[in-house]
């Protein structure tokens, strides 16, 4: 049986059929690894604690935690600990691509969304879900009760990547619908005009939302491992183009780097987080980014 940290690897998690178990194992693998990281102590157990600082009321010290860890933590009040999050899931057809026939970009995003939902609800943080392609599809409000996790997983399991990509328009709709300051976690391959998408992210920031942009690509879209003549398919229009892979590889990789640089630099300038991912990467890369954002708010 794999160790807990092995469950952070996509090639391991793909062998688990049930989404609830995927989410649980990914989170347990994350928390196992955090014990030896700068996030030591940041787990479900400590989600309602913070380190004691001079000026804090000693009556708030949790002596049971001190006895277990030899570290001084104080209990937070409910209003101080909760962060409201929304998962914004791209259902466009291009998300269904996979090269090695392991996890598609969509499968990877679903596992990541399920794990974040599991983590948030076990920390008593409200989390909601919106799915979109050419329009908004499912929409679940942000709640923190345990039964809400089953609702989220049920919607995720029924989703299929089959629609057209209208990312920017739907991010603008989501920003207008969610009135209270929230953490907006966008999961998409971003295969659309970066200028329009980044304008939508600006609109979210203008409305007071925090944003994490999870840019999920397939391993092959990042490394371009092809050679010889390659038949490229545009997933939404079904247009084909046969190209010499060796001849275009350098230009392709340069264009990809320029696109990622545009997302990274613009997000940095407006106070959003940009996380480039591919389907070969362990899930903890994305989950630690979420934990960093959660810690930064307190």
Q: What's the confidence (pLDDT) of residue 220?
A: 95
Domains, the chain, ordered by start? 4-79 (no CATH), 83-296 (3.40.50.410)
Strand partners, 274: 213
pLDDT of residue 35: 47
- What value, to the nearest 5°, has the Cα angle with vertex 61 and ends 55 and 64? 160
Instruction: List, for residues 229-261, the tens digit of each pLDDT value.
Output: 888 877 667 777 888 989 999 999 999 999 999
The pLDDT value given to residue 78: 46
Q: What is the DSSP string of 110-158?
A: HHHHHHHHHHHHHTT--EEEEEESSSEEEEEEEE-SHHHHHHHHHHHHH
Q: Which residues of the chain have pLDDT under 50?
A: 35-47, 78-79, 298
Distance, in Å, from the CA atom of 24 to the CA atom of 119, rounded to the nearest integer, reads: 8
Q: What is the pLDDT of residue 34?
A: 60
Of 88, 93, 86, 58, nearest to 74 by C-alpha is 58
Residues paired with residue 129 on neighbouring β-strands, in sequence order: 87, 140
pLDDT at 48: 59
Query: How crowded is residue 106: how many other Cβ atoms within 10 Å of its Cβ?
Result: 26
Strand (E) or helix (H) holding 22: helix 19-34
With 0-12 CB in 10 A as exposed, 13-18 as middle and 19+ as buried, what is 51? exposed
pLDDT at residue 50 in the model: 67
Task: Calculate the dihedral angle through the C-alpha atoms of 37, 125, 161, 224, rounding to the nearest 10 degrees.
Answer: -20
User: How is 183-214 classified by DSSP, letter by letter?
Assistant: EEEEEE---S-HHHHHHHHHHHHHTT-EEEEE
**In sequence order, what are the residues at sequence separation of 6 or more whose Cβ sits closer than 8 angstroms to the Cβ of residue 126?**
82, 84, 85, 120, 142, 143, 144
pTM over 0.95: no
User: What pLDDT was estimated at residue 72?
Assistant: 77
For residue 82, what are the contacts with CB-CB under 8 A and spacing of at least 6? 124, 125, 126, 144
CB-hemisphere CA count at 13 Å for 71? 12
Residues 187-221: tens digit of each pLDDT: 999 999 999 999 999 999 999 999 999 999 999 99
DSSP assignment of 238-259 equals --EEEEEHHHHHHHHHHHHHHH
Question: The tokens 């009135």 sit on which residue?
Answer: 179
């Amino acid at each position: 049986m794999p160790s807990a940290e092995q469950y952070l690897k996509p090639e391991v998690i793909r062998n688990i059929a049930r989404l609830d178990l995927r989410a649980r194992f990914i989170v347990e693998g994350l928390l196992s690894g955090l014990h030896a990281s700068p996030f030591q102590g940041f787990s479900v157990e400590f989600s309602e604690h913070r380190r004691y600082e001079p000026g804090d009321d000693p009556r708030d010290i949790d002596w049971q935690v001190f006895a277990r860890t030899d570290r001084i933590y104080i209990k937070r009040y409910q209003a101080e600990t909760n962060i409201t999050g929304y998962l914004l899931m791209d259902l466009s057809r291009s998300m269904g691509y996979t090269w090695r026939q392991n996890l598609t970009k969509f499968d990877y995003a679903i596992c990541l969304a399920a794990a974040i939902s599991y983590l948030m609800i076990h920390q008593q943080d409200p989390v909601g879900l919106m799915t979109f392609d050419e329009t908004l599809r499912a929409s679940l409000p942000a709640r923190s009760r345990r039964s809400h996790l089953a609702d989220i997983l049920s919607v995720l399991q029924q989703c299929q990547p089959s629609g057209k990509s209208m990312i920017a328009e739907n991010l603008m709709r989501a920003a207008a619908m969610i009135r209270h300051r929230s953490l907006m976690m966008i999961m998409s391959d971003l295969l659309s005009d970066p200028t329009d998408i980044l304008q939508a992210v600006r609109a979210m920031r203008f409305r007071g939302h925090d944003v994490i942009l999870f840019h999920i690509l397939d391993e092959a879209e990042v490394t371009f491992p092809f050679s010889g003549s390659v038949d490229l398919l545009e997933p939404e229009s079904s247009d084909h183009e046969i190209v010499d892979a060796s001849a275009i590889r350098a230009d392709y990789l340069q264009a990809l780097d320029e696109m990622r640089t545009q997302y990274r630099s613009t997000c940095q300038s407006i106070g959003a987080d940009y996380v480039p991912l591919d389907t070969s990467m362990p899930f903890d890369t994305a989950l630690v980014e979420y934990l960093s954002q959660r810690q930064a708010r307190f």
